[in-house]
């Protein structure tokens, strides 16, 4: 992991962690001087500050072994943590000292997380230490850390041993602490008590003036301070020449000044104790502006400010009656939280969706989709989350957060860039098929994220999610008054993976439909059907046990007309808990505020299909895959490092080295195999993988043989995979019936194939240097699954940030 990083504290503040530097001696002695006698006693047991000063002198001597980390808060060194070699070769002694004023912010836990990760990377298996039994705060921190901790009580002293064996418990603990800090951090931005608009001019067409006007007209309940050195009043209220002149504290500053002045304003905000910054100004994303953007982030981080933007529209929170944007949208509350990297898309969504909040992130220099997912997870006003992203900051972290959030509320995603070509220099079947867009699909599918193709699809799907219950299955009944549009709806259902089952009514048809109606499904009531007849049919079909959702297709102006028919549909569905959507040809909106209405059948079916897939994902267990063991990873890493040392640029491994690497994870490649007949020998599968620097690893399974590229029958997942997930991956293939005894063929050993996939997934997850991998073919027969040939290409790779140590990107 990198040498230094910024971290979020429990209260939402920001600290900087780094290794001890040569010039830190004075700062450490100042830390000791600020330490109370009580804290010095709990840390050093005897001797008080004199012992502490001597300890600092030892730490700063040249040639010291071990690792020392320090934490800096608001420019002051406030904490130190160290580990030094112990008697056992794989153990190290640890110790922590924190400034009294910085205690209770979670710094000790953060330092211990990072210390543990770095110690493990150095081959340390356990950290040891001693703590006084009366030091309850330290003992509580150790208990909550998430690593196995053994405590041995010896009178007033406790001997501790922390086993560096990271697993699910540590990941869950780290995620919970990260979530708490993110929520506290963004609460300062999303629900501020006071706002300053820096650059609020008197020109009504200016962005700053529009923001100020929106805040005032929207009824923001806290004080709003225009900052303008050239005006005494703006928009009818008193203005101030700079932030120092503002009479009260400022939680959020919206900055609308020219790009050259932004850094100076940011420094003023830092000096004034502002908690969050929204920078509307453009001119930072271009190459010439990158250094200024980095400096802007550095100013914000050192002062503990979160930054939205630059180059953004602003933020909106209808629950807080805050429109801190220059969009003229009225503050109409709703249940959809929106984040957009595009200003135009954000404006379109705000105009058309009932939003709870909107954040236009612009260049996304600091606050990102990951941060906002953390905030909106516990936001009761946000029932659906909609994201427009042009890039992922940390895709694997996004997937982890989205999968957790998605269990509570749906996450919709528009990800631009579907047409970007993959790396044309690749030579393996897997890498050629696994384009970046395929990687995004696999990433979000595993996380339960609903990926949509554009703004129109997002609007359609969001409307359904906020208005109707989730369907219990894929079975759809279609009821309407026009055979053509209903047939189009049925065709769309088949394309989208929904089922239109034949209906066998449980009551006599004459009791609820007119003569001449088609009842099999679609239920075509003919153009003469009245509103009452359509309503009766909807009510009857909703009562059928074999129906999970009902799509009503009405073509006006036939029958009783649109108004009466809409009313009848609403009344028929009022008591039902099943999903109901309607297509009123050429019209959109809501019936009774509950039933979404679409202008065309295909739009309704696409939205219903996406919501149905999300509901199916919710019903699947939260599957945990086991990563590679330490032994597997250690042996394989030695091979990889040896090869890259000989060829720093990487390249394809020779067959012998390929076999050694694969065997570390239990993947065996046979030179020849025996099968029990020609039919068994014809089932060929490709198992492979690719590692994208931006997305991480991806596992592919596909049809092998000479038709592999022609048929393009492939499925992808993000590793590591459980055995069940690998089995689902196999089942996704169109050719999968061949493995299960199709047309009398012998059944293949699918479990053996799934085990090979799991092992390949572990290898790719553990070794980011494996750029491409192909097992081609894997012969799958009734007696097993054996790879006949294998190819592996290595490439230099920057290690991904450890998921066990929190950090701001």
What are the domain boundaries of the chain?
Answer: 5-165, 465-614, 630-794
pLDDT at 678 over 70: no
- The pLDDT tens digits of the residues spanning 573-605 come to 999 999 999 999 999 999 999 999 999 999 999
How far the first Cα of the chain sits from its last, in Å, is 12
Mean pLDDT confidence for 493-507: 86
Q: How confident is the model at residue 789 (pLDDT cuts 50, 70, 90)?
A: very high
Q: How confident is the model at residue 416 (pLDDT cuts 50, 70, 90)?
A: confident
- Quick one: which of 416, 435, 421 has its CA closest to 712? 435
pLDDT at 637 over 90: yes
- The pLDDT tens digits of the residues spanning 166-183 come to 888 999 999 999 999 999
Q: How confident is the model at residue 744 (pLDDT cuts 50, 70, 90)?
A: confident
Residues of the chain with pLDDT > 70, as a percent, come to 93
Query: Rounded CA gap, 402 and 396, in Å?
Result: 10
Homologous superfamily of the 630-794 domain (CATH): ATP-grasp fold, B domain (3.30.470.20)
Q: How confident is the model at residue 287 (pLDDT cuts 50, 70, 90)?
A: low
pLDDT at 742 over 80: no
pLDDT of residue 432: 66
Q: How confident is the model at residue 121 (pLDDT cuts 50, 70, 90)?
A: confident
pLDDT at 679 over 60: no
CB of 433 closer than 8 Å to CB of 714: yes
Average pLDDT, the chain: 91
Pinpoint the alpha helices (H) of 304-342. none
Query: Rounded CA gap, 446 and 648, in Å?
Result: 34
pLDDT at 790 over 90: yes
pLDDT of residue 681: 44
CB of 279 closer than 8 Å to CB of 309: yes
Query: Rounded CA gap, 446 and 451, in Å?
Result: 11
pLDDT of residue 421: 45
Mean pLDDT confidence for 328-336: 84
pLDDT of residue 668: 81
pLDDT of residue 66: 85
- Quick one: which of 32, 62, 54, 141 has its CA closest to 94? 141
Mean pLDDT confidence for 130-148: 95
Mean pLDDT confidence for 188-203: 96
pLDDT of residue 422: 39
pLDDT of residue 427: 47
Residue partners of 122: CB distance under 8 A and separation at least 6: 67
Query: Rounded CA gap, 155 and 191, in Å?
Result: 49
Query: Rounded CA gap, 561 and 99, in Å?
Result: 74
- Quick one: which of 398, 278, 449 has its CA closest to 809? 398
- Quick one: which of 151, 243, 123, 128 has its CA closest to 195? 243
pLDDT at 334 over 60: yes
Query: Does the bond joining 252 to the residue before it have cis omega, within 30 degrees of 0?
Result: no
- The pLDDT tens digits of the residues spanning 249-276 come to 999 999 999 999 999 999 999 999 999 9
CB of 713 closer than 8 Å to CB of 703: yes
- Quick one: which of 4, 164, 160, 144 has its CA closest to 69? 4
Residue partners of 1: CB distance under 8 A and separation at least 6: 114, 117, 118, 121, 799, 801, 802, 805
Position with higher pLDDT, 490 vs 776: 490
- The pLDDT tens digits of the residues spanning 511-529 come to 556 655 677 899 999 999 9
Pinpoint the alpha helices (H) of 668-794. 678-681, 708-711, 723-731, 750-766
pLDDT of residue 424: 39
Sign of CA dihedral 306, 234, 281, 315: positive
Predicted model pTM: 0.92
Q: Give me the numbers of helices (H) and strands (E) for the chain, helices first please.
A: 25, 35
- The pLDDT tens digits of the residues spanning 564-581 come to 999 999 999 999 999 999
pLDDT at 377 over 90: yes
Across-strand partners of 15?
A: 7
Listing DSSP states for 168-225 in one string gives HHHHHHHHHHHHHHHHHHHHHHHS-S-EEEET--S-TTSHHHHHHHHHHHTT-SS-EE
Position with higher pLDDT, 436 vs 561: 561
- Quick one: which of 596, 606, 412 has its CA closest to 495? 606
pLDDT at 509 over 80: no
Which secondary structure element, helix H or strand E, spans residue 571, and what is its range?
helix 562-573
- 465-614 — its CATH code? 3.40.50.261
pLDDT at 435 over 80: no
pLDDT of residue 267: 98
Query: Rounded CA gap, 450 and 563, in Å?
Result: 33
Write out the two tokens for 11.
């209260």
Q: Which fold has domain 5-165?
A: Aminopeptidase (3.40.630)
Query: Does the bond joining 310 to the residue before it have cis omega, within 30 degrees of 0?
Result: yes
pLDDT of residue 572: 96
């Amino acid at each position: 992991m990198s040498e230094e990083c910024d971290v979020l504290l429990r209260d939402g503040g920001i600290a900087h962690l780094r290794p001890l530097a040569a010039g830190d001696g004075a700062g450490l002695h100042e830390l000791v001087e600020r330490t109370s006698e009580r804290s010095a006693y709990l840390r050093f047991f005897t001797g008080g500050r004199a012992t502490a000063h001597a300890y600092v002198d030892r730490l700063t001597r040249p040639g010291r072994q071990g690792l020392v980390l320090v934490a800096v808060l608001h420019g002051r060194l406030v904490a130190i943590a160290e580990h030094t070699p112990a008697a056992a070769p794989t153990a190290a002694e640890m110790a922590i000292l924190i400034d009294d004023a910085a205690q209770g912010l979670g710094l000790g836990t953060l330092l211990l997380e990072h210390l543990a990760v770095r110690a493990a990377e150095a081959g340390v298996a356990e950290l040891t230490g001693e703590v006084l039994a009366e030091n309850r705060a330290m003992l509580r921190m150790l208990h909550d850390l998430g690593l196995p901790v053994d405590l041995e009580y010896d009178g007033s002293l406790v001997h501790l041993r922390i086993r560096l064996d990271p697993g699910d418990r540590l990941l869950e603990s780290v995620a919970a602490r990260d979530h708490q800090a993110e929520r506290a951090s963004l609460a300062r931005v999303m629900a501020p008590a006071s706002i300053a608009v820096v650059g609020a001019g008197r020109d009504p067409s200016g962005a700053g003036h529009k923001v100020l006007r929106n805040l005032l007209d929207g009824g923001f309940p806290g004080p709003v301070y225009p900052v303008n050195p050239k005006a005494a009043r703006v928009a009818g209220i008193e203005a101030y020449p700079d932030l120092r002149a503002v009479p009260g504290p400022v939680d959020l500053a919206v900055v609308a000044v020219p790009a050259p002045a932004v850094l100076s304003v940011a420094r003023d905000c830092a000096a004034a104790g502002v908690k969050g910054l929204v920078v509307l100004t453009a001119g930072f994303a271009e190459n010439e502006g990158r250094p200024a953007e980095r400096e802007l982030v550095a100013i914000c981080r050192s002062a503990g400010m979160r930054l939205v933007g630059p180059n953004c529209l602003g933020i909106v929170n209808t629950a807080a009656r805050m429109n801190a944007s220059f969009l003229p949208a009225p503050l109409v509350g709703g249940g959809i939280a929106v984040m957009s990297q595009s200003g135009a898309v954000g404006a379109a969504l705000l105009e058309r969706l009932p939003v709870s909040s909107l954040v236009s992130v612009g260049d996304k220099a600091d606050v990102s989709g990951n941060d906002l997912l953390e905030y909106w997870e516990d936001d009761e006003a946000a029932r659906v989350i909609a994201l427009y992203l042009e890039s992922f900051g940390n895709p694997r972290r996004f997937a982890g957060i989205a999968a957790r959030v998605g269990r509570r509320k749906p996450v919709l995603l528009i990800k631009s860039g579907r047409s970007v070509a993959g790396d044309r220099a690749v030579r393996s079947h897997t890498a050629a098929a696994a384009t970046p867009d395929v990687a995004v699909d696999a990433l979000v599918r595993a996380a339960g994220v609903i990926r949509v193709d554009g703004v129109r699809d997002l609007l359609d799907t969001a409307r359904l999610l906020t208005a109707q219950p989730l369907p219990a299955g894929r079975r759809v009944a279609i009821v309407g008054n026009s055979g053509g549009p209903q047939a189009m709806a049925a065709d769309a259902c088949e394309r989208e993976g929904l089922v239109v089952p034949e209906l066998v009514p449980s009551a006599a048809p004459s009791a609820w439909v007119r003569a001449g109606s088609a009842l099999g499904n679609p239920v075509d009531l003919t153009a003469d059907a009245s509103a009452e007849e359509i309503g009766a049919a909807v009510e009857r079909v909703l009562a059928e046990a074999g129906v999970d959702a009902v799509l009503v297709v009405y073509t006006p102006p036939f029958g009783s007309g649109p108004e009466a028919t809409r009313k009848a549909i609403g009344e028929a569905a009022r008591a039902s808990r099943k999903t109901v959507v309607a297509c009123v040809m050429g019209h959109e909106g809501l019936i009774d505020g509950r039933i979404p209405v679409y202008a065309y059948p295909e739009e309704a079916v696409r939205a219903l299909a996406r919501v149905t897939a999300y509901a199916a994902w919710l019903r699947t267990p939260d599957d945990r895959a086991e990563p590679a063991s330490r032994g597997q990873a250690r042996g394989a890493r030695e091979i990889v490092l040896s090869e890259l040392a000989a060829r720093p640029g990487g390249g394809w491994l020779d067959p012998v080295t390929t076999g050694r690497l694969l065997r570390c994870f239990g993947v065996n490649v046979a030179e020849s195999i025996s099968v029990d007949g020609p039919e068994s020998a014809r089932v060929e599968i490709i198992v492979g993988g690719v590692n994208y620097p931006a997305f991480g690893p991806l596992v592919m399974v596909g049809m092998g043989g000479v038709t592999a590229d022609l048929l393009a029958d492939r499925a992808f997942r993000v590793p590591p995979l459980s055995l069940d997930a690998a089995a689902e991956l196999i089942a996704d293939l169109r050719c999968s019936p061949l493995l299960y005894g199709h047309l009398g063929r012998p059944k293949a050993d699918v479990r053996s194939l799934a085990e090979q996939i799991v092992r390949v997934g572990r290898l790719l997850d553990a070794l980011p240097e494996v750029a491409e991998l192909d097992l081609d073919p894997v012969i799958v027969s009734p007696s097993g699954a054996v790879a006949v040939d294998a190819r592996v290409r290595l490439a230099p790779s920057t290690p991904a940030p450890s998921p066990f140590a929190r950090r701001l990107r």
